[in-house]
Amino acid sequence: MKSHIPSERARELLLQGEGVTLDYKRSTAGVHADDFCAFANATDGGVLLIGVSEGRDVQGGQIGEIIGCPVDDATKLQLTNKAQSCHPPVFIEIHTECAGDLRFLRIEIPPSSTRPHCTPKGAYLSRSGSRNVALFPTDLLSIFLEKEARTFQSRFSDAASSITGKLETTESLIANMQRAIEKRVEDIADQLGWSDFNLDDTGDKIDRVEALLHNSIRRQKDAGSRLRELLKAGSVLDPIRERAREAARIAIEEAIFENESMIRGASTGDKIHLETTGEIAEELNSAELQSIFEQILEETLFRRTERMDDNSGNTNSENSGDTIRS
């Protein structure tokens, strides 16, 4: 048997009065893409009650008065199309409510994981009080950075759980995410026409944006440090550092081959200064470079000693042969 009273949820909303998370609409004609975008961009989402007008209780507080509206499939499709016209599309849940012979609609709009959303005309909105208000570029950037931070934390957690054998993939992921953040911020700036935006009296917002950017960079550096500690704890070789070590070996071997004085100087106890750049400088400290240099120097001197011994042995054999033959 069909209920002829509103759901408990609808009854609470009718007594609540309009606000940040609730708006009453007399008919579907008063519902626009602006409403869907504003609630989807808001922190807590929101609800539209359609077929409800603004009324007053005995104390003079605002309540919702049910006046009814069409609830057929065509009406629901019209509302769905308005939500889908947002970019990206806004997810909504449409519920039919009853109050005696009257029917009205309750549309739930949860906070979106794909925000920020804009209308077909490119307007970005959110909620303030009981109204839809425009989002400034700094507000949009804050939303974007919070979203990227959540995405980064989620991906880092997944990567850390299967760290063994996957460090290079994780390092690449971090680098790609950093580049993606930089690119997205540039795109947002271009799309919103920041060059035409008047930044007077918005110093506090700029400071907040800069703080978010620094925080995002710090989180990425912290992630790298955590990965290093995970590798040490699991006794897993760091492929990035191993790659830097191999590059250092090759560079030092080439330097020794091209500069004989390095061997003579090192053999007599002279201090050899090693200058590095790029990944080698970032991953290896001076003590590690000195250790690699001394190892290569020892190997080089050992090989030379072996060749000298071999040459000496060959000369003696040839001399002995001459003596025997004579």
Segment among 53-57, 156-160, 161-165 with least mean pLDDT? 161-165
Phi (first) and psi of residue 283, to 5 degrees: -95, -25
Per DSSP, the three-state class of 114 is coil
Query: What pLDDT sits at residue 264?
Result: 73
**Residue-level pLDDT at 321:** 39
CA dist 282 and 286 (Å) reads: 11
Q: What distance in Å separates the CA atoms of residue 115 and residue 136, rounded to the nearest whole number?
A: 14
Residue 13 identity (one-letter amino acid): L
| CA 261/CA 263 separation, integer angstroms | 5
320 pLDDT tier (thresholds 50, 70, 90): very low
- Express as a percent the part of the chain with pLDDT over 90: 39
* The pLDDT of residue 168 is above 70: no
Average pLDDT over the chain reads 80
Residue-wise pLDDT for 95-141, tens only, equals 999 999 999 999 999 999 899 999 999 999 999 999 999 999 888 88
Find out whether 106 and 47 touch, Cβ atoms under 8 Å: yes
Instruction: Collect contacts of 88-91 with beta carbons under 8 A, ≥24 apart.
Output: 88/114, 88/117, 90/36, 90/37, 90/39, 90/40, 90/117, 91/40
For residues 78 and 28, the answer to whether their CB atoms sit within 8 Å is yes
The H-assigned helical ranges of the chain are 8-16, 33-41, 73-84, 137-161, 167-192, 203-233, 239-258, 261-267, 278-283, 286-325
Over residues 288-298, mean pLDDT: 85
Q: Cis ω on the peptide bond leading into residue 116 (within 30° of 0)? A: yes
pTM attached to this predicted model: 0.53
Q: What is the pLDDT of residues 8-21, one digit of tens each?
A: 999 999 999 999 99
| Number of residues that this document lists for the chain | 326
Give the rounded distance of the alpha carbon of 20 from its chain centre: 28
